[in-house]
Structure 1
Amino acid sequence: MSSCNYELIKDGWFREINDKSFPGQGLELKVEKVLYHSESEFQDILVFQSATYGNVLVLDGIVQATERDEFAYQEMITHIPLYAHRNPRNVLIVGGGDGGVLREVVKHSCVDKATLVEIDESVIKLAQKYLPGMACAFENEKVQIKLQDGFQFLRDVAEKPEQRYDVIITDSSDPEGPAEAFFQKEYFQLLHSALKEDGVVIAQASENVWLNLDYIRDLVASASSVFARAEYCYTTVPTYTSGQLGLIVCTKTENTNLKHAARHPSDGEQSQMRYYNAQMHSASFVLPTWAHQRIYRP
């Protein structure tokens, strides 16, 4: 068993310190019990029970989800593109082995099929065991699971014009290790090829305006060189470093208004959501003046 992540637990506290992604700062959570720790074929995986955030999933030393605040991320990365689309029926999720995005996708009655592509099956199995509130939709009749590399899956789709998606959600980890390819121009080009003409793509942008604004500017510029529209928005998640996580939303058509919901949740759908609503959808695109100018002005 690897000792990598145990080195991040000292005196009963887990410490997330990553000077490459989050220079000069870190995150600490009090640990009640280590539930699992090992190296999969692709990454270092740690699951622990925290004192105040429930069970916590950590990949390569970076917090991916906690039971207490995961919904703030899962709901926004899912419902922004799905409600920006007038009739999403066929949805692709790249990554997201913890099942949180999948749980949110199947809440939409209009969705007929949800395909999840995850390279690391161990993440799915561990989520089912330790994060059952997230991993509750894997057996849903709408769901299809593909255990393979997401990048290669999209390359294969590009060669099949009949296989296109209404919404594509990239729920990757941060741009290191197996997820690094998801933050490059070629990936946006593959997403463009796999998307229907009126489709919507969303990807977690890794950074937020408080951490690396130039990175966000470059990422938006890269997406804008491929898609007709590319917009940056964010959600607030306490256990992501600095409490915010960026999302980049793209579409092939100029007339798709990503910043406002084309559909609103039904009463039944809204009752299942704790973070997302139509007002929050629009508000998530409103940026502080300095950030907006830096991201969108040449």
Structure 2
Amino acid sequence: MERWVEETLHSGFRVRLKADKVLFDSETEHQQLIIFENEDFGRVMMLDGIVQLSTRDEFVYHEMMAHVPLFAHGKAKKVLIIGGGDGGVLREVLRHPEVKSATLCEIDRSVIDLCLEHFPDVSGGAYDDKRTKVVIADGTKFVHETDQRFDVILVDSTDPVGPGAVLFTKEFYTDCRRALASGGILVTQNGLPFLQAPELKQSVTYFRDLFDDAFAYVATTPSYFGGSMSYGWATDDKKLRTQKLAKIARRYKKAGAFPTRYWSPEMQAAAFALPTYIRELVEAS
């Protein structure tokens, strides 16, 4: 008997994926989690009815979340990842030789364990890297209490439902700002502007109250159904998102010009050239 798994994120829009083989289907301490095989997307993980990861296209999201801010910053040594238990963003962060420590704060240890079991290539050994520090905790509590200062903070969160909702509040962003070192960059997962416009608009509004530069950039991940994915951008250095292509290319070469499948110096520059409907949304925030 065929089994189809439905994504339930959008109230007026539904997508179903065929589960050719279910590998895990159970309630963790914090959320409902299912992992299954699909002919088109590979191995897929969904949390609370929302696609989080597929092996066929995970590189898009993970490369763009990590490399855009790290190459814009140019000298980030300490990075904090909130969420991201699959280890994909961590994997990409650690490809930057100047990074001396990468702290990953994940609320649900079982997500890490299940991803290590079912998606080992996504983290690609990143959890064994001596620069990696894993903290099992609520991300909002961690940034509120930490006395560390990070050059880049990456919020690799679920959508603003369930345990991920608190990661879209002004209080959380305020604590992130406090935890950033001077000249630091905050990047957040901010959903699909075509279907989740209020989410991006609200976050950028909060950023504008807290930072000198508040904006967004985009990339298209096929398994995030409904258009381009937006990444919120916040920093006090307005020059970081408008750097010349040649400078980004030089930094990439210095980092070893490691192979990528989506990100490139050209894509970095293009990502901030927003489609008009998204730019108007961000600028009206």
Is the TM value for this pair above 0.5?
Answer: yes
State the partner residue of 2:155.
170
The Cα of 1:291 is off from its aligned counterpart by 2.8
The Cα of 1:39 is off from its aligned counterpart by 0.8
Q: 240, 244, 255: which is aligned to 1:257?
A: 240
Partner of 1:266: helix, strand, or coil?
helix
Q: 188, 191, 194: which is aligned to 1:203?
A: 188
The Cα of 1:218 is off from its aligned counterpart by 2.3
Q: CA RMSD in A?
A: 1.7
CA distance in 2 between counterparts of 1:140 and 1:248 reads 28
CA distance in 1 between counterparts of 2:175 and 2:117 reads 33
Alignment CA distance shift 1:270-1:13 (3 Å): farther
Whether the aligned pair in 1 keeps the contact of 2:3 and 2:19 (CA below 8 Å) is: yes
CA distance in 1 between counterparts of 2:266 and 2:274 reads 15
Gaps of 5+ in 1: 1-9
TM-score, structure 2 as length reference: 0.93
State the partner residue of 1:233.
217
Alignment CA distance shift 1:293-1:123 (3 Å): same
Q: 139, 149, 153: which is aligned to 1:150?
A: 139
Whether the aligned pair in 2 keeps the contact of 1:259 and 1:281 (CA below 8 Å) is: no
**Residue 223 (1) aligns with residue 207 (2):** yes
Gaps of 5+ in 2: none
Whether the aligned pair in 1 keeps the contact of 2:204 and 2:282 (CA below 8 Å) is: yes
280-289 or 231-240, which moves further after superposition? 280-289
Letter in 2 for 1:241: F
Q: Whose helix fraction is larger, Structure 1's or Structure 2's?
A: 2
Whether the aligned pair in 1 keeps the contact of 2:86 and 2:115 (CA below 8 Å) is: yes
**Residue 12 (1) aligns with residue 3 (2):** yes
85-94 or 208-217, which moves further after superposition? 208-217
Q: CA deviation digits over 1:229-283, x for unaligned, max 9?
A: 11111110111121421100111233x3224465431287444211101111111
Whether the aligned pair in 1 keeps the contact of 2:2 and 2:19 (CA below 8 Å) is: no
Partner of 1:237: helix, strand, or coil?
coil
CA distance in 2 between counterparts of 1:98 and 1:154 reads 20
The Cα of 1:13 is off from its aligned counterpart by 2.2
Partner of 1:138: helix, strand, or coil?
helix
Q: CA deviation digits over 1:177-223, x for unaligned, max 9?
A: 111011011111001000011111101012x2211324322221111
Alignment CA distance shift 1:270-1:14 (3 Å): farther
CA distance in 1 between counterparts of 2:120 and 2:256 reads 20
Identical aligned residues as a percent: 35
CA distance in 1 between counterparts of 2:255 and 2:150 reads 25
* Poorly superposed stretches of 4+, deviation over 4 Å: none
**Residue 65 (1) aligns with residue 53 (2):** yes
Alignment CA distance shift 1:268-1:193 (3 Å): closer
